[in-house]
Amino acid sequence: MSDKDSRIEDFGDKIIDGKKIAAFIESSLKEKIDYLKNNGIVPCIYVILIGDNPASVIYVRNKENAANRCGIMSKKIVLPVNISENELLNKINELNDDSLVHGILVQLPIPPHIDENKIMEAISSNKDVDGFHPFNEGKIFTGNSSFYPCTPFGIVKMLDYSNIELKGKNVVIIGQSIIVGKPLSIMLMNRNATVSALNIYTNNIRCWTNMADILISATGKAHLINESFVKDGCVVVDVGIAKLDGKICGDVDFDSVIKKVSKITPVPGGVGPVTVAVLMENTVNAALQFLSNS
């Protein structure tokens, strides 16, 4: 039995099971995908991978596997690490113009000689299944974006699925990336949570985390969070992924905090699978929008 399985066995009532929630999201897409196919459309996502960063290679493979499970066409374009910004922009423009392509994703991080903002802006906002185009990012503020970034959207779905109230709760987010922390802060503010956004310059993070009803950690620092960071009954969402002693682990030292938490997302098997399922949902929605506009 894997570590994750034994945790579910031992602490079942406390675990927010990402694999189960992802399976639920993926199965709920079936009806929409059938509808698209009956209208002659196979939802299609292109994933662009630059170089061979081992973590990125695994993430991209997980996305391809999910697409296969769902009946979504997925295509991977692998580009050399020294590709020029212009060559990448040309590739994106080709995909923007291809009516058979509904979603485009450039796996991050990208090499430093390429301007990430320029790339995100180049992807058509109608095909922006990552939700990183400034138009879609801006719409997060008003809560009516067509594409919410997959990890934050997945986290909100996991909390909702677990019937965790957000309104009036103290939510502390560690990490302010454009992929997780920043969009998630706004999405939780839209749900009337009281949000504190911490970063690497925050003094005495324990002061903040000890007040958290919901603690979300997205730093990539293995086992940053132990029991001294959480109050009794806290809900912990672990967005980190790292390796410690050859084993995959998150930002949170699971064994240390489990006594105190009311709910926790494990790593692996927590936020990761749900993020991928939300990407599939965004791709299907992109195809549906294409159909309704054609």
| 130 counts as catalytic | yes
Catalytic residue among 63, 127, 169, 182: 63
| 98 counts as catalytic | no
Between residues 17 and 130, which has the closer beta carbon with respect to ligand GUN? Answer: 130
Write out the E strands in the chain.
44-50, 73-79, 103-106, 170-174, 194-198, 214-217, 235-238, 242-244, 247-249, 263-264
Catalytic residue among 17, 130, 251, 253: 130
Q: How far apart, in whole angstroms, are the C-alpha atoms of residue 245 and residue 250?
A: 13
Q: How far apart, in whole angstroms, are the C-alpha atoms of residue 271 and residue 22?
A: 9
Q: How far apart, in whole angstroms, are the C-alpha atoms of residue 88 and residue 85?
A: 5
| Binding residues with ligand GUN: total (CB under 6 A) | 8
The β-bridge relationship of strands 263-264 and 235-238 is: parallel
Region near ligand GUN per CB under 6 A, out of 4-12, 92-100, 102-110, 203-211: 102-110
Q: How far is the CB of 245 from ligand GUN (least distance, A)?
A: 23
Q: How far apart, in whole angstroms, are the C-alpha atoms of residue 174 and residue 202?
A: 9
Residue 130 interacting with ligand GUN (CB under 6 A)? yes
Residue 107 interacting with ligand GUN (CB under 6 A)? yes
Residue 179 interacting with ligand GUN (CB under 6 A)? yes
Region near ligand GUN per CB under 6 A, out of 101-109, 138-146, 207-215, 240-248: 101-109
List all residues 6 or more positions away from 98 whose beta carbon is below 8 Å from its beta carbon: none
| 63 counts as catalytic | yes
Residue 108 interacting with ligand GUN (CB under 6 A)? yes
Active site (catalytic) residues: 63, 107, 130
